[in-house]
Amino acid sequence: MTMRCPACGTTYADDAKFCTRDGSRLQAVVVVSAARPAPTGAGAGAGVGAGPGAGVAPAAAPTPAEGVRATTARTSPGEGQPKRAVLSHANMVGQVLDRRYRIVKKVGEGGMSFVYLAQDVSTAEKYAIKILSPALSQDQNAMARLRREAGLGIRLAHPNVCHIMRLGETEDGLVYVVMPFVEGEILADRTHRLGRIPLEETAKFVREIADGLHVAHELKIVHRDLKPENIMICRDAAGVDYAVVMDFGLAKERKAGGELEKLTATGIILGTPEFMSPEQLRGKPLDPRTDIYSLALMTFEMLTGKLPFEGRTQQEMMIARLRNEPNTLRRARPELGYPAAVERVLLKAMERNAEDRYQSAPEFAAAFTAATQEGDTGGGTGMFGRLFGR
């Protein structure tokens, strides 16, 4: 796997995270073997867009075990039985899943699943179906979270959440998840395309993401893998954009282990560390405040096109999260002149200690929205300086 700068196109080794030319966050380039057709998209989202830059989030290249597995049925000598293709989660196109969902096309893939556009054979309604890899379907913790979320599916239904509608398993043992088919543009793609997102629009997306998170948090569901690749920007009938949080149930708890020294010594790669909270990196128990931290980092990137922590490798990114103070908006993009109150709200939401952050997603969203209307661009000694000062 290689990494590519979305701005200038320069490619880097797989341990690089930022472009040395323009500072953009690099995206993974999926290398597809000749054993299967090139995917139309890659990643962890549950929906797919209809145009360039829209679709499922970028993800790491799948392992060879996740490719199409064409094998031969075992026969006794002389039987002369024909060869039979054995279906896996990677080659479902053209099949009817559980006699109900006709698989139309593959719209994305990641390390643990393949995402397909499907139609109900009775109603022709479109769905996004994620076929889980054997590794994920055998993960007892992940499956317990999926079953619980599937049981809460109706209560989790919300305009800003792509929720699990059904969790099923075929006679052949393939585990699948049915979700609404969501069309739009991945937030990461929009930020890269525009360079940054205007303050007012960012505040709107933050409120919508926070609304979706709050519904899940009230049901004791923590996302654990909140990042721009897991947010879809959709458009309603009136042409207004809105944010949808994807992949609650499939977000796996990632732990860096108890000893950072051991982590850096072994060079363990843990997925996407840029948006993980300090407590997640330390392997501590997680609650809604870990999602608030991740949302604050996403907000910083929306406003600046950059991340508040820097590092040349994933290990350096983790260490920076645990030891260093985050960069500020004014240092990252001084020419934009963001209100000082916005700075203070973000710094509070990015506190290393969860007790010092906002304690709910709506609280953070409300504070951020109010701060965007503050005209002070200096040190800030007014009302918001007293409320959100450090």
Could you tell me the residue ranges of all domains in the chain? 185-388
Q: Using 50, 70 and 90 to split pLDDT, how confident is the model at 100?
A: very high
Predicted pLDDT of residue 5: 67
Say which residue the tokens 């072994």 belong to. Answer: 266
* CA distance readout (Å), 371 to 139, 197, 203: 42, 16, 10
Return the structure tokens found at 184.
């739009």
Chain segment 151-204, per-residue pLDDT in tens: 888 888 999 999 999 999 888 888 999 999 999 999 999 999 999 999 999 999
Predicted pLDDT of residue 1: 53
Task: Catalytic residue, from 225, 287, 291, 376: name it.
Answer: 225
Q: Which of 12-16, 155-159, 189-193, 276-280 has the lowest mean pLDDT?
A: 12-16
In the predicted structure, residue 378 carries a pLDDT above the cut 60: no
What's the rounded Cα separation, in Å, for the pair 190 and 196? Answer: 8
Average pLDDT over residues 62-67: 32
Say which residue the tokens 């503050």 belong to. Answer: 374
H or E stretch at 325: none
What's the rounded Cα separation, in Å, for the pair 177 and 168? Answer: 6
For 185-388, the fitting CATH number among 3.30.450.20, 3.40.640.10, 1.10.510.10, 1.10.3720.10 is: 1.10.510.10
**Checking DSSP bridges between strand 2-4 and strand 27-29, what pairing results, if any?**
antiparallel
Q: Decide if 24 contacts 5 (C-beta within 8 A).
A: yes
- What rounded mean pLDDT belongs to the chain? 76
Task: Count the Cβ atoms, other than its own, within 10 Å of residue 384.
Answer: 21
Average pLDDT over residues 65-71: 29
Chain segment 253-265, per-residue pLDDT in tens: 444 444 343 333 3
Give burial (CB, 10 Å; 0-12/13-18/19+) of 69.
middle
Question: Is the torsion defined by CA of 42, 179, 126, 50 positive or negative?
Answer: negative
Position with higher pLDDT, 351 vs 46: 351
What's the rounded Cα separation, in Å, for the pair 264 and 389? Answer: 34
Q: Decide if 308 contacts 300 (C-beta within 8 A).
A: yes
Q: Which of 80-94, 260-274, 341-355 has the lowest mean pLDDT?
A: 260-274
Residues paired with residue 177 on neighbouring β-strands, in sequence order: 130, 167
Please list, in sequence order, all residues whose beta carbon lies within 8 angstroms of the beta carbon of residue 25, skipping any fewer than 6 positions away.
17, 18, 19, 192, 274, 301, 306, 307
CA-based angle 209:215:111, to the nearest 5? 65
Q: Using 50, 70 and 90 to split pLDDT, how confident is the model at 216?
A: very high
Question: Is the torsion defined by CA of 216, 221, 226, 231 positive or negative?
Answer: negative
Please list, in sequence order, all residues whose beta carbon lies within 8 angstroms of the beta carbon of residue 115, skipping any fewer than 6 positions away.
43, 45, 46, 48, 56, 106, 107, 108, 109, 128, 129, 130, 131
> Is 376 in the active site?
no
